Structure formats: structure tokens, C-alpha cells
């Protein structure tokens, strides 16, 4: 079946550095992917909608210059957390819409130290 692969599954980085997270749809094309963030013991909150070949649409309160999204192909979207700070530590999950359901990546646990 359709699968969305997200890498890395976890990453620890120093404050001030940038981290890139990849989200790939493995056997289907996804013109739209979504990026969610989940803080500990909280729900998934939509950060942005990634559209292939165009600029991402960000939710209110999400800094587009900090969370750079690139959707260069129909199977790949990337989220780059720039100049990461400890408050950016969270679980990031991508999602791509298939024909019958929304498929989620495995998630990336980011820890900024």
C-alpha cells in the first residue's frame, strides 16, 4: 500500500543550527503534503500546507522564515528548521493525501540542545 517515509526519525542538534526533515511519498504522487507539529502530550497542530511547485501556505503563528518548506517534486517535501532553538524541540510529522486516506510519515523527534 501507499507509504509516506519521513527522515530522520530523530535528530539532536545544537542551538543555532539548521535541521532538514524529508518527507517522501513512496508509491504515489502527492501534490499536497502537510506538516504538523506535536508538543509532548499535546495534539497534532497543522503548521503548513506544502504544494508542489508553489509556495507553502503557513498557519497563523508559524514563522515561514524559520520553518522553510520546499516541495520540489511530486514525491518529496522538506521542512527545514532554521536557527533552531530549544523551544523548537518537538515531534514533527508530515502527511500526504492518497486516494482513500491521509498517510502519515513516521515522524521526526527534534531535540535542540
Partner 1 sequence: AQKVTQAQTEISVVEKEDVTLDCVYETRDTTYYLFWYKQPPSGELVFLIRRNSFDEQNEISGRYSWNFQKSTSSFNFTITASQVVDSAVYFCALSEWSGNTPLVFGKGTRLSVIA
- Render the chain in DSSP notation, one character per residue: ---EEEE-SEEEE-TT--EEEEEEESSS--SEEEEEEE-TTS--EEEEEEETTS--EEPTT--TTTEEEEEEETTEEEEEE-S--GGG-EEEEEEEE-SSSEEE---EEEEE-
Answer for which of 100, 110, 111, 112 binds partner 1 (CB under 8 A) is 100
Told to check if 32 binds partner 1 by CB under 8 A, we report yes
Output the nine-digit C-alpha cell for 5. Answer: 517515509
Using the rule CB under 8 A, which residue among 49, 80, 82, 89 binds partner 1? 49
Least distance (Å) between residue 80 CB and partner 1: 20
Binding mask 61-80 for partner 1 (x = CB under 8 A): --------------------
Q: Which is nearer to partner 1, 83 or 111 (CB)?
A: 111
Binding site for partner 1 (CB under 8 A): 31-32, 34, 36, 41-46, 49, 91, 93, 95, 97, 100-104, 106-107, 109
Amino acid at each position: 500500500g501507499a507509504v509516506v517515509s519521513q527522515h530522520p526519525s530523530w535528530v539532536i542538534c545544537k542551538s543555532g543550527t539548521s535541521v532538514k526533515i524529508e518527507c517522501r511519498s513512496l508509491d504515489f504522487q502527492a501534490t499536497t503534503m502537510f506538516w504538523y507539529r506535536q508538543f509532548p502530550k499535546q495534539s497534532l497542530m497543522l503548521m503548513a500546507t506544502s504544494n508542489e511547485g508553489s509556495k507553502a501556505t503557513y498557519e497563523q503563528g508559524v514563522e515561514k522564515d524559520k520553518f522553510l518548506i520546499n516541495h520540489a517534486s511530486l514525491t518529496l517535501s522538506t521542512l527545514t528548521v532554521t536557527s533552531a532553538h530549544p523551544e523548537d524541540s518537538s515531534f514533527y510529522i508530515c502527511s500526504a493525501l492518497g486516494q482513500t486516506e491521509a498517510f502519515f510519515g513516521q515522524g521526526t523527534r527534534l531535540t535542540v540542545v
